[in-house]
Structure formats: C-alpha cells, structure tokens
Amino acid sequence: MPSSNTISHEIAYALRDEILRQRYQSGDRFPSERDLAARFDASRGAVREALSQLEQLGLIRTQPGGARVQSLNAASLAILGPLLELDGHPDPLLVDQFLQTFGVLAALTAKSAVNAASPEQLIQLKKLVVDLKDQANDYEGMQPPWRELLEAMSAISDNLVVRLISNDLKAQFVGQMLKLGFRPDLKKGSRDRLVTTLRVSLNEQDGERASQAMQDHFEEFREAVGEAIRFKADKPSNRVVN
C-alpha cells in the first residue's frame, strides 16, 4: 500500500502539471481539501501535504478561505524542469531563455575564475580544457569534462549565489534535454574554437577573453539547440494510422 508521503507527491505532481498547463489561471480559487481528497481518493492529510508542496513551489498561496493560484512569474526555479518536460516537448522560447541566462552566468564565472586563479589552479583548469578537447566532437561524451570545468571555475570564482543558481539550472536542464533525446549539432569547429580560446585565456590569465569565449559558445549553442527542437517538432510521427 502506497505511503501517505508517496500519495501526497503524486497528487502534487498531478496538480502541478495542471497549473503549468494553465487549467487553473492566476488568481483562481483552488479546489478545497475536501474536493481534492474525494477526487484522488486520498486522506485530507495527504492532500494538505500536496498543497504545501505546491505552495513551496510558489504555484499557489494559501489564504483565509482557501488557496489561490499564483502567476508563474512568482514561482520558484524548481518548476523549470517540469516545464521543460511538459508534454514531452520543451517550449523553444523557454529553452532559449535558459541558455541565454546560463551563458551569462558561465561567462561571469569564467572571467572571475581566470582572473583570480592561482598558478596551481591555472594548471588544473588547463588540464580540464585538454580533457574537454579530447571529447570535443562527442556531445554526450563532452558533458562530464564540461561540467567538471564549470564546477572548477565556480569553485575558484567563489560566488555562492551564482554557483547555487547555476547548479539548479544545470540539474534541471541538461538531464531533461538528454532524456528528451535532443542532440544539438554545433557548427564545425565551434567546440575547437572554444577550447583554443580558453587555452589562450588561461595562458595569458585573461578573464575577459575567457568570458567572451563562453558568450560566443553559448550563442552558437542556443542556435543549434533551437534548430534541434524545431527539427524534432517537425519530424513526422511514426504512429500507424488505421
């Protein structure tokens, strides 16, 4: 028999997706605990816990007289992952906004890290760039050294706010894109240019050059991901028509 905690998560996920699909509009009164308990054949306690989870996500707000739906603009960053996998096809605009935001954070982190790095840390970063070069033509193979490089830069730059935001964004975005089968095809030489420019920036300890390399890479990556999403959306279905 499922535990109350499991049931509350299932209820929260179902209601979360209904809100994200705009079944409920901002300002709408949310169904009562009694109505939800009857709908999901669950205890009021399980429903109450589910509503608490939705409130933590910023999707509803409990007020005297019941809960009301909040605007997505008031929600937490934790809804990004569910939004990306909603209906199995991410919103191109949402993906583009993510990459634009993450590109800015990566550029800021690279600039700060390269300028602040000690000689030992510069050696570490150079080694990670070499590892990145070895996987430059393999999108999935590139992910582990790419994450390791970004994490090393984050640790050196020591900006906790940027690091926490970046961690949350990466955790929700990269996994979802891979799970949905997106393999962006970067223009020939794009990754090589990134690696070459990063190596020069490290040799000269030029944070501005490292920042520009990140910005240029993410601009090209945004374009490639947009094309991959459009291609997948336009691809004919394999369903059999009777």
Whether the per-residue pLDDT at 233 is higher than 70: the answer is no
- Across the range 89-98, mean pLDDT stands at 84
SS3 (DSSP) at 160: helix
pLDDT number for residue 238: 43
Domain boundaries, the chain: 4-75, 79-234
What is the residue whose two structure tokens read 């934790």? 78
pLDDT number for residue 4: 58
- pLDDT tens sequence across 186-216: 777 888 889 999 999 999 999 999 999 999 9
Whether the per-residue pLDDT at 181 is higher than 70: the answer is no
- pLDDT tens sequence across 3-59: 557 899 999 999 999 999 999 999 999 999 999 999 999 999 999 999 999 999 999
- pLDDT tens sequence across 127-165: 999 988 877 666 677 778 888 898 899 999 988 888 888
pLDDT number for residue 178: 66
Can you name the CATH fold of 4-75? Answer: Arc Repressor Mutant, subunit A (1.10.10)
Tell me the chain's radius of gyration from C-alpha atoms. Answer: 22
Whether the per-residue pLDDT at 242 is higher than 70: the answer is no
| Tally of residues, the chain | 242
- pLDDT tens sequence across 94-130: 888 888 988 999 999 999 999 999 999 999 999 999 9
pLDDT number for residue 42: 95
Q: Two tokens at 205?
A: 């300890």
Burial status of residue 120 (CB atoms within 10 A of its CB: 0-12, 13-18, 19 or more)? exposed
Q: Any long-range contacts for 72-78 (C-beta under 8 Å, 24+ apart)?
A: 72/20, 72/26, 77/165, 77/168, 77/169, 77/172, 78/168, 78/172
Can you name the CATH fold of 79-234? Answer: Four Helix Bundle (Hemerythrin (Met), subunit A) (1.20.120)
SS3 (DSSP) at 224: helix
Whether the per-residue pLDDT at 241 is higher than 70: the answer is no
